Amino acid sequence: MATNRSNAVRHLAAALSARFEVQVEAVYDSTQWRLEWIDGPVQSRMKTAVKELAPADLDPELFELSRSPQDRAVAVQLIRMARKGQLPSDERIAWRLLSLVGLVVNETDYPDRPVDERAQVMAQRLMDASRDDKWKSVSDIRMAELVLENGGISWLLPTPIEAPTDVNAALELITARYAIGEAAQAWHWSLVPLDLGEALRLAQADPEPDAEVALALVTLAAEHRRRVSAELDADLADAVRAARAAGVPWEVLGQAQGGLTRQGASQLYGRLLQRGHRSEPST
């Protein structure tokens, strides 16, 4: 009988492992069965799955559930919370910062899984920096201390920052180089970049930018041109729409736009609608 129950429990653990793609271990401690897993789903989801998958002769309420988040989960969630602005920037006590992260870890499914490759690299760098010199083990409290000592997480970014041919990378480069005051604090603490206009202003103020900054400036200037052009196109499309709704003929609209023909004015309006994904009103 005991052997049959043991086999049923281990089959249940295997089914849970397959569902959640984590190793679920069934452990008997002489009085009770316990299901243990590392990271993976929160306990409430595991409890629901136990009820669904347990055979009829196993009472789901007899199982103790135990999830053990690992150091990587703390590193990943600390960085995620910082990037989302969920870590108080005025906090100066490491254990309090760590307790906030711990609460999120306990409430998060698969807390060890970073949201992207950058977060993965940053988490690994944070873990490596926190290792004890003697035992080489990762220290959760040391990770929190390092974030406080460095004023945030920007020091964990890969060096150098990506080539600034992408708008986001260009904004980050300019922010890292030129931001001061609260903008610099926001960057270092949560990786919040400058807005496009401020980044352009600061980069243009440098009389001798290096190659990286100069390339970032080209990227940002091109993006600024695209946004301004889109706004101007939208303004013109709205104006033409209003004029057509008021009964102004295409011939007159063409004259108002620099001497376009009737056909030219109508075609220009069509292009503006396509760029802005607008629908043309009935005429």
Tell me the residue length of the chain.
283
pLDDT of 29 > 70? The answer is yes
pLDDT of 269 > 70? The answer is yes
Residue pLDDT, tens place only, 140-150? 999 999 999 99
- 26, 35 in Cβ contact below 8 A? yes
87 or 136: which leads in pLDDT: 87
pLDDT of 125 > 90? The answer is yes
| Closest by Cα among 168, 164, 166 to 209 | 164
**How many whole angstroms separate alpha carbon 230 and alpha carbon 233?**
5
Residue pLDDT, tens place only, 151-180? 999 999 987 666 788 999 999 999 999 999
What pLDDT score was predicted for residue 61?
Answer: 87
What pLDDT score was predicted for residue 5?
Answer: 82
| Closest by Cα among 161, 170, 144 to 81 | 144
User: Among 67-71, 158-162, 219-223, which stretch is predicted with the lowest mean pLDDT?
Assistant: 158-162
- 63, 34 in Cβ contact below 8 A? yes
**How many whole angstroms separate alpha carbon 66 and alpha carbon 106?**
11
CA 89 distance to own-chain centroid: 18
Q: What percent of the chain has pLDDT over 90?
A: 78
pTM above 0.85, yes or no: no
**How many whole angstroms separate alpha carbon 126 and alpha carbon 144?**
9
Which pairing describes strands 64-68 and 25-28: parallel, antiparallel, or unpaired?
Answer: unpaired
Q: Please report which confidence band the pLDDT of residue 64 belongs to, taking 50, 70 and 90 as the band edges.
A: very high
Residue pLDDT, tens place only, 75-102? 999 999 999 999 998 888 999 999 999 9
As a whole number, the mean pLDDT across the chain is 91
**How many whole angstroms separate alpha carbon 256 and alpha carbon 265?**
9
* E strand intervals along the chain: 25-28, 33-38, 64-68
Which pairing describes strands 33-38 and 64-68: parallel, antiparallel, or unpaired?
Answer: parallel
pLDDT of 283 > 50? The answer is no
Q: What is the DSSP letter of 155?
A: G
* E strand intervals along 59-142: 64-68
3-state secondary structure of 70: coil
pLDDT of 281 > 50? The answer is no
Residue pLDDT, tens place only, 243-264? 999 999 999 999 999 999 999 9
What pLDDT score was predicted for residue 59?
Answer: 87
Neighbours of 273 (CB within 10 A): 16
- In angstroms, the Cα distances linking 143 to 106, 128, 247 are 18, 9, 68
**How many whole angstroms separate alpha carbon 57 and alpha carbon 117?**
45
